């Protein structure tokens, strides 16, 4: 008898679970937009910032009346930072949730695995972070990219070298061995040698997360370059700068190639050592785009932590998505794609217009800036027209401060 009772409870339990699953299928009806981000795993930190920004933006859009009176329902899927899981996520979004378009896309490997599906299924995908050049070099008509590809990050810095730092003759390039570091540094080296006429005397990669960069830096020191250009993420960036200080390594210019050198954590963990460090960047709260600073403040007010360029990319992408949905003739993937192709708007991340140039198609083209840490604040120093402070050049020597 007891056994029978247990059996019945067990079956009832299973039925109950099934019931909740079925219930979960029949949820609110809005315009479904899929967002693909790494919310767990190693990349979770940035995925989380992007998710918060998407949430913030979609809430604002919905509060302001949504898209022609309809709510946008973002369905945010976790890729865990793995391509095969990313693919599971987009297959689910398209096949089960029947989204009209997809956004997000963080690391290049996951982005690639997912956009291929989007193209094949003819669902538009707006990439806002995946930065491998190849993503928009396939001529795929359903794929759009908001952020510039990795090879274009040092663009803004070049004009500074040509106009201000003209006495720089030799360059040492240090980079992390990641997609970002390897392609960014390669491109910069080419640019130095071909168009800037600089002598690259050293180019060396390192595995992110090293404890001690001194062997590398002492080598740099012995070669006495005028410019040290580093493509590094936050913590490696901070270690490089701190240990340069320890070694009293004094080039004319320390420049970070985007990424790590502009983030608040960099300042926090270098302290005074971070002063006067330059960095190329796509976005900081001080960029001259409408709403950039406001977005930053809103984010801090809401979540209590600062945001950075990944967040701005996501926030801008949400508005581009809303804009395209508004203009779309119908809420079908095809119509949304056509509307996206005609996007021409201003966002917190800059102007967005998908154009074709070189090998790239449907790629947004953005200027890059040069920023410098001055008095603990990140100031835009180049191009001159948009600068918020005057640059300090050359770099004051560590032991003379």
Partner 1 sequence: MEVFLQTLVAGILKGGLYGLIGIGMTLIMGVMGIINLAHGQLMMVGMYITFVCFHYLGIDPYFALLVSMPALFLLGVAIQKYTLNPLIEVESILPENQVLMTVGIGMVLTEVARFIFSSDYKSVQTSYSSSSFFIGEISFSLALTIAFFIAVAFTLFMFWFLLRTDLGRSIRATAQDKDAALLMGVNAQRITILTFGIGSALVAAAGTLLMPIYYLFPDIGGPFTRKAFVITILGGLGSTVGAIFGGLTLGLAEAFGATYIGMAFDDMIGLVIFILVLIFLPSGFKRITKV
Partner 2 sequence: MKRFAPFLLLVILILFPLLVRDDYHQHLMILVLMWVVIGAGWNVIAGYTGQVSFGDAAFFGTGAYTAGLFATKLSISPWWAMAAGGVAAMAVAFPFGWICFRLRGAYFALATLALNEVMRHIATIWEDLTGGMVGILIIQTFVSKVPYYYIALALAVAAVIGVQAVMGSKWGYYFVSIREDQDAAESLGIDTHLYKMISLNIAAFLTGMAGSLYMNYMGFIDPEVVFSLHDISIMAILVGIVGGVGTVYGPVVGAFIMVAVHEFFRTGFFGFFKGLAALTGSQAITTLAKYVMQAHVLGFGILVVVVILVLPNGIVGDWKKITGWLPLGGGRRSAA
Give the binding site for partner 2 (CB under 8 A): 3, 6-7, 9-10, 17, 20-21, 23-25, 27-28, 39-41, 44, 77-78, 80, 82-85, 87-89, 91-92, 94-96, 108-109, 112-113, 116-117, 120-121, 132, 134, 138, 177-183, 205, 207
Residue 214 touching partner 1 (CB under 8 A):
yes
Single out the residue of 54, 112, 213, 373 in contact with partner 1 (rule: CB under 8 A). Answer: 213
Single out the residue of 239, 259, 325, 371 in contact with partner 1 (rule: CB under 8 A). Answer: 239
Q: Which does 134 bind (CB under 5 to 8 A by kind): partner 1, partner 2, none?
A: partner 2
Nearer to partner 1, 45 or 397 (CB): 45
Nearer to partner 1, 47 or 104 (CB): 47
Residue 234 touching partner 1 (CB under 8 A):
yes
Single out the residue of 4, 20, 212, 385 in contact with partner 1 (rule: CB under 8 A). Answer: 212
Q: Which does 195 bind (CB under 5 to 8 A by kind): partner 1, partner 2, none?
A: none
Write down the least CB distance from residue 82 to partner 2, Å.
Answer: 6
Nearer to partner 2, 6 or 294 (CB): 6
* Cross-sheet strand order for the sheet of 199-206: 199-206, 170-176, 227-231, 253-257, 278-281, 369-374, 377-382
DSSP state, 133? G
Which of 212, 252, 256, 209 is closest to 230 using CA atoms?
A: 256
Site for partner 1 in 318-357 (CB under 8 A): none
φ, ψ dihedrals at 259, nearest 5°: 50, -115
122 in Cβ contact with 333 (< 8 Å): yes
Single out the residue of 205, 306, 383, 394 in contact with partner 1 (rule: CB under 8 A). Answer: 205
Residue 390 touching partner 1 (CB under 8 A):
no
Nearer to partner 1, 170 or 269 (CB): 269
Q: Which residues lie below 8 Å from residue 26, measured CB to CB, with a gap of 6+?
A: none
Q: How many helices (H) and strands (E) does the chain have?
A: 12, 15
Residue 170 touching partner 1 (CB under 8 A):
no
How far CA 112 is from CA of 105, 122, 136, 334, 346, in Å, comes to: 8, 15, 10, 21, 27
Single out the residue of 1, 22, 25, 222 in contact with partner 1 (rule: CB under 8 A). Answer: 222
Single out the residue of 5, 23, 64, 211 in contact with partner 1 (rule: CB under 8 A). Answer: 211
Q: Which does 96 bind (CB under 5 to 8 A by kind): partner 1, partner 2, none?
A: partner 2
Which of 201, 180, 194 is closest to 258 using CA atoms?
A: 180
Nearer to partner 1, 142 or 254 (CB): 254
Write down the least CB distance from residue 240 to partner 1, Å.
Answer: 11
Residue 202 touching partner 1 (CB under 8 A):
no
Q: Which residues lie below 8 Å from residue 281, measured CB to CB, with a gap of 6+?
A: 156, 258, 261, 262, 309, 368, 369, 370, 371
Residue 42 touching partner 1 (CB under 8 A):
yes
252 in Cβ contact with 227 (< 8 Å): yes
Write down the least CB distance from residue 371 to partner 2, Å.
Answer: 25
136 in Cβ contact with 108 (< 8 Å): no
Which of 365, 381, 383, 395 is closest to 153 using CA atoms?
A: 365
Distance between CA atoms of residues 278 and 289, nearest Å: 21
| 3-class DSSP string for 228-277 | EEEECCHHHHHHHHHHHHHHCCCCCEEEEECHHHHCHHHHHHHHHHHCCC
Residue 265 touching partner 1 (CB under 8 A):
yes
> What is the crossing angle of helices 309-327 and 292-303, to 10°?
110
Site for partner 1 in 244-263 (CB under 8 A): 245-248
Residue 18 burial class via C-beta count within 10 angstroms: exposed 0-12, middle 13-18, buried 19 and up: exposed
145 in Cβ contact with 127 (< 8 Å): yes
Q: Which does 51 bind (CB under 5 to 8 A by kind): partner 2, partner 1, none?
A: none
| Peptide bond preceding 212 in cis form (omega within 30 of 0) | no
Write down the least CB distance from residue 105 to partner 2, Å.
Answer: 12
Interface with partner 1 by CB under 8 A: which residues?
A: 42, 44-45, 48, 174, 177, 204-207, 209-216, 218-219, 221-222, 234-235, 238-239, 242-243, 245-248, 265, 268-271, 273
């Amino acid at each position: 008898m007891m056994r029978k009772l247990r059996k019945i409870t067990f079956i009832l339990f299973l039925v109950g679970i099934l019931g909740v699953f079925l219930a979960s299928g029949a949820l609110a009806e809005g315009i479904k937009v899929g967002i693909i981000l790494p919310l767990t795993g190693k990349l979770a930190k940035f995925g989380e910032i992007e998710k918060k920004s998407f949430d913030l933006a979609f809430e604002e859009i919905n509060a302001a009346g949504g898209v022609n009176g309809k709510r946008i329902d973002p369905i945010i899927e976790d890729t865990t930072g793995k391509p095969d899981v990313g693919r599971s996520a987009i297959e689910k979004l398209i096949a089960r949730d029947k989204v009209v378009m997809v956004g997000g896309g963080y690391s290049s490997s996951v982005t690639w695995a997912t956009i291929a599906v989007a193209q094949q299924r003819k669902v538009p995908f707006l990439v806002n972070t995946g930065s491998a050049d190849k993503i928009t070099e396939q001529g795929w008509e359903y794929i759009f990219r908001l952020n510039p590809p990795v090879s274009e990050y040092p663009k803004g810095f070049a004009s500074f070298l040509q106009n201000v730092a003209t006495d720089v003759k030799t360059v040492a390039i240090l980079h992390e061995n990641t997609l970002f570091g390897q392609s960014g540094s390669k491109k910069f080296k080419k640019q130095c040698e071909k168009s800037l006429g600089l002598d690259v005397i050293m180019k060396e990669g390192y595995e992110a997360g090293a404890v001690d960069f001194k062997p590398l830096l002492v080598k740099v020191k012995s070669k006495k370059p005028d410019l040290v250009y580093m493509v590094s993420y936050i913590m490696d960036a901070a270690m490089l700068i701190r240990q340069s200080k320890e070694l009293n390594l004094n080039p004319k210019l320390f420049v970070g190639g985007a990424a790590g050198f502009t983030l608040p954590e960099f300042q926090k963990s270098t302290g005074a050592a971070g002063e006067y460090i330059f960095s190329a960047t796509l976005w900081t709260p001080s960029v001259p785009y409408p709403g950039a600073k406001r977005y930053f403040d809103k984010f801090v007010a809401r979540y209590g932590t600062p945001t950075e360029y990944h967040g701005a990319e996501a926030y801008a992408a949400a508005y581009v998505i809303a804009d395209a949905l508004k203009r779309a003739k119908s809420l079908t993937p095809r119509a949304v794609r056509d509307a996206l192709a005609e996007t021409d708007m201003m966002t917190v991340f800059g102007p967005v217009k998908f154009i074709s140039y070189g090998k790239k198609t449907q790629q947004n083209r953005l200027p890059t800036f040069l920023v410098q840490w001055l008095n603990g604040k990140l100031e835009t120093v180049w191009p001159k027209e948009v600068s918020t402070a005057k640059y300090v050049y050359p770099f004051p020597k560590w032991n003379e401060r």
